[in-house]
Amino acid sequence: MRAIKLTQLLFGATLVLASCSKDEVNVVESSIDENITVKNSTERANLKPIGSGVMMQAFYWDVPAGGTWWNTVKGKVQDWSDAGIDAIWLPPASKAQNGSLSMGYDPFDYYDFGEFDQMGSVETRFGSTTELKQLITSAHNNNLSVIADIVLNHNSGGQKELNTFTGVEYYTKFEPLSGKFARTFDDFHANSNHQSDPAVFGGFPDLCHHQPNVQDWLWKRSNSVAKYYKNEIGFDGWRFDFVKGFEPWVVKEWKNTVGGFTVGELWDGNTDTLNWWADQAQASAFDFACYYKMRDAFEGGDMTQLNGDMLWKRSGSKAVTFVANHDTDIIINNKMLAYAYILTHEGYPTIFYRDYEEWLNKERMNNLIWIHNNLASGNTSILYTDNNEYIAKRNGHNGPGLVVYINNADHWDERWVQTNWNNTRIKDFTGHSTWEPVTQGNGWVKIQVPPKSYSVWSVK
């Protein structure tokens, strides 16, 4: 979500008005549809479980246009899998109003992945249907799952028609060339279900998820968007865009219908809000609380901010942690320290394409991914924090765990900490320190860390 960043603020303010009261919520069967024929189940047989490793956000805002992006990503999936990535998150893949230039967040035809001549182009910015399917097959063959970016709040590119509820003409007539999911004004706000009209604020026609036609096409029918994406295109999981714009039961019902890992973009630093949404949607949420605490710690120069509340501290399995994404990139200094933080802590960490491929040291990133996948297990205990330093341990689970030492000062530091290991030789698995100390009988040991850097200690 970026195209409506400005309006998002306005829309957020009207959310109370726009959202439906609880007694309006439709109850829908909550079992995964057994009748779905999964065409590509064979190539999916060996996928790594999503969340066992690290997610790659496989795009950034305004990736090169011209229909080459799917091929670019395809060329990288083997290396990413070898490095310990378990899933790739693709941008919204179907035809949007801005055609060959769109990043996909202004969806028009959910079923046109680059084969119909509409919105000024056949291919999407990223390529053709065939190229997308080839990318997904290649990812699956490298044991990677593929996460679709799903934009359900709003649509774009419809023709003008009269809304008989408001008496006003608006861009709500959608007749996509795929022939699927035709929409009219009653599928958008305001309509017979809801009189309020947030579209006035956002500009984009705002889908009404209570409308039977909308539910039917989005997730219920045999060739719904959800089932088509899973069974025909091959997506394995879901990233829902701008979930502040609609109620969490929509995500829950989608997930209950087709299954798969699900994460929502609820752009809010309030942990209670994130936790509430994750509970209601029965899904994971991006940990914006963690994101803003890291900003205050690494940019703001106060590492004690990392003692604050974050979604991963409530539940590691609900939190998808990240340092940057296609919308926001505010942790500029000490970015490696932020990655050292999310890749040693609980939650499912995401790596931003440009950080990995262009901006940061790939060898250092791969080392942290390895540490995440091999050492970072068990719950977390914070051992020490001050303005410049942060030390925590993962207590281990079927493994020794680790101690991570992050230093925002411009000099080396060292400190005595109590580990879970007694009379045991440990080392820094980042290679930043050459020390190989032996812990005392009570677990105490002295560890060190370079300036503006980190060390990660575990059993040698």
Give the nearest distance from C-beta 181 to Zn ion in angstroms: 17
- Comparing every residue's Cβ against Zn ion, the nearest one is 208
Q: Which is nearer to Zn ion, 241 or 357 (CB)?
A: 241
Contact partners, residue 24, CB within 8 Å, separation at least 6: 193, 210
Residues forming beta bridges with residue 385, ordered by sequence position: 390
Select from 72, 137, 193, 366 the one that contacts Zn ion (CB under 5 A).
193
Under the binding rule (CB under 5 A), the answer on residue 447 touching Zn ion is no
Q: Which long-range contacts (CB under 8 A, 24 or more apart) does 8-14 make?
A: 8/202, 8/242, 8/244, 8/245, 8/267, 10/201, 10/202, 11/198, 11/201, 11/202, 11/244, 11/245, 12/244, 14/196, 14/198, 14/201
Q: Which is nearer to Zn ion, 80 or 390 (CB)?
A: 390
From 72-80, 131-139, 152-160, 205-213, give the range in contact with Zn ion by CB under 5 A.
205-213
Site string for Zn ion, 91-130 (x = CB under 5 A): ----------------------------------------
Distances (CA, A) of 202 to 62, 152, 264, 311, 458: 22, 14, 20, 29, 51
What is the C-alpha to C-alpha distance for residues 251 and 28, in angstroms, rounded to an integer?
Answer: 12
Q: Which is nearer to Zn ion, 199 or 290 (CB)?
A: 199
From 25-33, 155-163, 192-200, 358-366, give the range in contact with Zn ion by CB under 5 A.
192-200
Give the nearest distance from C-beta 332 to Zn ion in angstroms: 22
Under the binding rule (CB under 5 A), the answer on residue 183 touching Zn ion is no
Under the binding rule (CB under 5 A), the answer on residue 208 touching Zn ion is yes
Q: Is 398 exposed, middle or buried (0-12, 13-18, 19+ CB in 10 A)?
A: exposed
From 138-146, 150-158, 209-217, 334-342, give the range in contact with Zn ion by CB under 5 A.
209-217
Q: Which is nearer to Zn ion, 65 or 409 (CB)?
A: 409
Binding to Zn ion (CB under 5 A): which residues in 377-436?
409, 413
What is the C-alpha to C-alpha distance for residues 333 and 311, in angstroms, rounded to an integer?
Answer: 23
Q: Which is nearer to Zn ion, 57 or 155 (CB)?
A: 155
Give the nearest distance from C-beta 213 to Zn ion in angstroms: 12
Give the nearest distance from C-beta 238 to Zn ion in angstroms: 21
Contact partners, residue 23, CB within 8 Å, separation at least 6: none
Q: Which is nearer to Zn ion, 76 or 210 (CB)?
A: 210
Give the nearest distance from C-beta 249 to Zn ion in angstroms: 12
Q: How many residues bind Zn ion (CB under 5 A)?
A: 6
Under the binding rule (CB under 5 A), the answer on residue 194 touching Zn ion is yes
Contact partners, residue 351, CB within 8 Å, separation at least 6: 54, 55, 56, 57, 85, 323, 339, 365, 369
Q: Which is nearer to Zn ion, 74 or 210 (CB)?
A: 210
What is the C-alpha to C-alpha distance for residues 351 and 365, in angstroms, rounded to an integer?
Answer: 9
Give the nearest distance from C-beta 123 to Zn ion in angstroms: 33
What is the C-alpha to C-alpha distance for residues 343 and 367, in angstroms, rounded to an integer?
Answer: 10
Residues forming beta bridges with residue 118, ordered by sequence position: 121
Q: Which is nearer to Zn ion, 22 or 398 (CB)?
A: 22
Give the nearest distance from C-beta 451 to Zn ion in angstroms: 9
Q: Where would I find the H helices in 160-270? A: 199-202, 212-215, 225-227, 248-258
- Pair of tokens at residue 207: 């889908």
Amino acid at 423: N
Q: Which is nearer to Zn ion, 143 or 172 (CB)?
A: 172
Tell me the HSE value of 67 on the side-chain side, using a 13 A CA sphere.
Answer: 15
Give the nearest distance from C-beta 193 to Zn ion in angstroms: 5
Give the nearest distance from C-beta 208 to Zn ion in angstroms: 3
Residues that bind Zn ion (CB under 5 A): 193-194, 208, 210, 409, 413
